[in-house]
Amino acid sequence: MSNAHTSTLSVNSTKIRDPYFDNARGLLITLVVAGHALLEIGGVYSRYLADFFYTFHMPAFILIAGYFSRSYAATPAQNRRLISGIAAPYLIFFVLHEVFSTFKRGSFVFPDFFSPRWTLWFLMALFVWRLLVPVFRQLRFPLAFAIAVGLFSPISDALSGEFSTGRILQYLPFFIAGTLITPEMVSRWKTLLSPFTRSLGVFVLLGLAIINTWLLRSDVLTHSMLLSRSSYEALEQSVPEGVFWRAVILLMGVVGTLAGLLITPQSRSYLSTMGEKSLYIYLLHGLVLWPLRYTDIAPEWLSTAPGTVVTALACVILAMALASPPVTSLVRPLVEPRIGWLLTRPHPTEPPAHPAPGSPTAGSTAAGHRP
């Protein structure tokens, strides 16, 4: 992988990094791990907690990804980084997931590489979103267009997991919104951060959790709707009903994202390290939790309220462990593969690829390059 990746799932430490965004990544990637685990243990408490996370953790990740992708211009150097930083890890971990599945099935089935396995959808989506940046840059009202795509694309019953088309289109507004944020806007936002605004962020998230749980209990909101991948027909909704609830879900994502950014600390800590290594956590946790998803290994008591608490705490510990130096050093060839021999050499007159101003300068992957 090249030395200058800017993204949401971040990989390497850099000389100049913003701990605020690393901390945000660290918090969000922990929620991703917890959300995936909680969904697999069953139980009412775990489902409501996971669905609360789903209202904003991916929207926030994708917004940050867009922010650090805003300077993408499809230069040769940027395209090489796109291949080495996103496509290569996707293929490597796709194969690993297939190895696990083959052992479980007891037979080999030739895989469909264009249907991402479980957690890998984000890498495919990020690959496509970055390619769209130069296109949306030509629009006078890019965010309005992206919102229209997010609201009306589910009208098509052709949306599916193939190429992650459903999520690419329905989450597009958050990514495009991120590309429109400037470092000056971020600086002004940081001036708002204080103990009061952090308390406000906590209360907003609590309110969002209550509203989300009420909507779920009332059966007007479902987990499938929160996944943002299905057509209105698949959700058994009319077009007006589907558009309305899609707009509600987008709004909840915005509110949750802003509240989450309000409570994000600015000082450096191990949370920052987790943010730097968020791509490692993202890719590896799917393999660690694979048995929980595809086997009946989980004991029944995990579906109880105490089991939900234990699972959530275990996920925090897991995320911290996956970001540790021993783990990242061991799996670096898989997460950051050296594939320069597969790529063309830079032309002597080719300008170097510079990351967006204000972005990490090395190895970031979740926000603008390789959630």
Burial of 110 (0-12, 13-18, 19+ CB in 10 A): exposed
pLDDT in tens, 86-135: 999 999 999 998 888 887 777 777 777 777 888 899 999 999 999 999 99
pTM over 0.85: yes
- As a whole number, mean pLDDT of residues 309-314 equals 96
Give the chain as a 3 state SS string: CCCCCCCCCCCCCCCCCCHHHHHHHHHHHHHHHHHHHHHHHCCHHHHHHHHHHHHHHHHHHHHHHHHCCCCCCCCHHHHHHHHHHHHHHHHHHHHHHHHHHHHHHCCCCCCCCCCCCHHHHHHHHHHHHHHHHHHHCCCCCHHHHHHHHHHHHHHCCCCCCHHHHHHHHHCHHHHHHHHHCCHHHHHHHHHHCCHHHHHHHHHHHHHHHHHHHHHHHCCCCCHHHHCCCCCCCCCCCCHHHHHHHHHHHHHHHHHHHHHHHHCCCCCCCHHHHHHHCHHHHHHHHHHHCHHHHHCCCCCHHHHCHHHHHHHHHHHHHHHHHHCCHHHHHHHHHHHCCCCHHHCCCCCCCCCCCCCCCCCCCCCCCCCCCCC
Cβ atoms within 10 Å of 216's Cβ, excluding its own = 19
pLDDT in tens, 255-304: 999 999 999 999 999 999 999 999 999 999 999 998 888 888 888 899 89
Mean pLDDT of the chain: 88
Predicted pLDDT of residue 220: 92
Predicted pLDDT of residue 257: 98
What's the sign of the alpha-carbon dihedral 117, 11, 358, 273?
positive
pLDDT in tens, 214-235: 999 999 999 999 999 999 999 9
Predicted pLDDT of residue 348: 66
Q: Distance of CA 120 to CAs 107, 143, 245, 250, 356, Å?
A: 22, 26, 26, 22, 25
pLDDT at 358 over 80: no
- Structure-block tokens of residue 121: 């959808």
pLDDT at 365 over 50: no
pLDDT in tens, 151-171: 999 999 887 667 789 999 999
Q: Is 164 left (phi over 0), alpha (psi -120 to 50) or beta?
A: left
